[in-house]
Chains A and B, each alone.
Chain A
Amino acid sequence: MNLLDPQGPVAAANSTILVDSVFIMLAIVVPTIFAILAFAFWFRASNPKAKFQPDFVYSGRVEMVVWAIPALTVILLGGVAWIGSHQLDPAAPVPGTGSPVRIQAVSLDWKWLFIYPDQRIATVNTLTVPAGAELNFQLTSSSVMNTFFIPQLGSMIYTMNGMVTKLNLRADNEGKLQGLSAHFSGDGFPDMMFDVNVISPLAFPDWVATTAKSDAVLNEDSYKKLMQQGVEKGRPTYRLDDPRLFDLIATQHIPPGPGPELASEAGRSQSGGHDAR
Chain B
Amino acid sequence: MLGKLDWSAIPFDQPIPLIAGAVVLVGILAVLAWVVVKGHLPYLWHEWITSVDHKRIGVMYILLASVMLLRGGSDAIMMRIQQAVAYQSQGYLPPEHYNQIFSAHGTIMIFFVAMPFVIGLMNLIVPLQLGVRDVAFPTLNSVGFWLTATGALLVNLSLVIGEFARTGWLAFPPLSELSYSPGVGVDYYAWSLQISGVGTLVAGINLVTTVLKLRTKGMNYLRMPMFCWTTLASNLLIVAAFPILTATLAMLLLDRYLGFHFFTNEAGGNVMMFMNLIWAWGHPEVYILVLPAFGIFSEVVSTFSGKALFGYRSMVLATMAICVISFMVWLHHFFTMGAGPDVNAIFGIASMIIAIPTGVKIYNWLFTMYGGRIRFETPMLWSIGFMVTFIIGGLTGVLVAVPPADFILHNSMFLVAHFHNVIIGGVLFGAFAGFEYWFPKAFGFRLNDRWGKLAFWFTFLGFYVTFIPLYVAGMLGMTRRMQHYDVAAWRPWMLVAAVGMAVLTIGVICQIMQLVVSIRNREALRDHTGDPWDGRSLEWATSSPPPVFNFAFNPDVRGEDAYWDLKAHAKQQSLQHDAPEYHDIEMPRNSPTGFVCAFFATVMGFALIWHIWWMVILGGIGAFATFVVFAWRDHDEYVIPAEEVAAIDRVNLEERRSLVSMAGTV
Residues of A within 8 A of B (CB): 1-4, 11, 13-15, 17-18, 21-22, 25-26, 29, 32-33, 35-37, 39-40, 43-45, 50-54, 56-59, 62-63, 65-67, 69-71, 73-74, 77-78, 80-82, 84-92, 143-145, 147, 149, 151-152, 154-158, 160-163, 165-166, 178, 180-190, 193, 252, 255-256, 258-260, 262, 264-269, 272-273, 276-277
Q: Once the chains bind, are A2 and B398 in contact (CB under 8 Å)? A: no
Closest chain A CB from B477 CB (angstroms): 3
Chain B hits for A4, CB < 8 A: 475
CB within 8 A of B408: which of A62, A156, A163, A273?
A156
Q: Find the residue from A57, A85, A269 having the highest chain B CB count within 10 A.
A: A85
User: How far is A277 from B484 in the complex, measured between Cα atoms in Å?
Assistant: 11
User: How far is A193 from B384 in the complex, measured between Cα atoms in Å?
Assistant: 42
Q: Once the chains bind, are A151 and B477 in contact (CB under 8 Å)? A: yes
Which chain A residue has the least Cβ–Cβ distance from B485? A190
Q: Once the chains bind, are B364 and A189 in contact (CB under 8 Å)? A: no
Chain A hits for B9, CB < 8 A: 266-268
Q: Find the residue from B312, B376, B404 having the highest chain A CB count within 10 A.
A: B404
**Can you list 16 A-B pairs with a CB-CB distance of less than 8 A?**
A4-B475, A15-B408, A58-B312, A77-B402, A81-B345, A82-B348, A88-B404, A155-B407, A158-B338, A161-B271, A184-B99, A184-B480, A186-B180, A190-B482, A266-B5, A277-B90
CB within 8 A of B399: which of A25, A157, A183, A188?
A25
Counting chain B residues whose Cβ lies within 8 A of the other chain, the interface size class is 35 or more
CB within 8 A of A86: which of B341, B369, B391?
B341
Known: A57-B312, A62-B367. 8 other contacts (CB 8 A): A26-B395, A44-B374, A52-B371, A57-B308, A151-B476, A184-B175, A267-B10, A268-B11
Chain A hits for B44, CB < 8 A: none
Q: Once the chains bind, are A269 and B355 in contact (CB under 8 Å)? A: no
Q: Once the chains bind, are B477 and A2 in contact (CB under 8 Å)? A: yes
Q: Once the chains bind, are B395 and A25 in contact (CB under 8 Å)? A: yes
Q: Once the chains bind, are A273 and B94 in contact (CB under 8 Å)? A: yes
Please report which residues of chain B, range 295-324, place their CB below 8 angstroms from some CB of chain A when the two chains form the complex.
305-314
Chain A hits for B401, CB < 8 A: 81
With known contacts A18-B405, A269-B182, A78–B349 Cβ distance under 8 A = yes
Residue B549 CB within 8 A of the other chain: no
With known contacts A56-B310, A58-B311, A70-B356, A88–B376 Cβ distance under 8 A = no
With known contacts A81-B403, A276-B95, A3–B266 Cβ distance under 8 A = no
Which chain B residue has the least Cβ–Cβ distance from A191? B484
Chain B hits for A69, CB < 8 A: 359, 363
Which chain B residue has the least Cβ–Cβ distance from A264? B8
User: How far is A213 from B663 in the complex, measured between Cα atoms in Å?
Assistant: 92
CB within 8 A of B94: which of A88, A262, A267, A277?
A277
Closest chain A CB from B367 CB (angstroms): 6
Q: Once the chains bind, are A265 and B475 in contact (CB under 8 Å)? A: no
Chain A hits for B408, CB < 8 A: 3, 11, 14-15, 18, 149, 151, 154-156
Chain B hits for A260, CB < 8 A: 180, 182
CB within 8 A of A144: which of B95, B180, B266, B405?
B180
Q: Once the chains bind, are B95 and A187 in contact (CB under 8 Å)? A: yes
Q: Once the chains bind, are A66 and B360 in contact (CB under 8 Å)? A: yes
Chain A hits for B501, CB < 8 A: none
Chain B hits for A21, CB < 8 A: 398-399, 402, 405
Q: Once the chains bind, are B407 and A160 in contact (CB under 8 Å)? A: no
Q: Once the chains bind, are A18 and B409 in contact (CB under 8 Å)? A: yes
With known contacts A14-B404, A86-B341, A43–B180 Cβ distance under 8 A = no
User: How far is A27 from B459 in the complex, measured between Cα atoms in Å?
Assistant: 27
Residue B481 CB within 8 A of the other chain: yes
Chain B hits for A149, CB < 8 A: 408, 477, 479
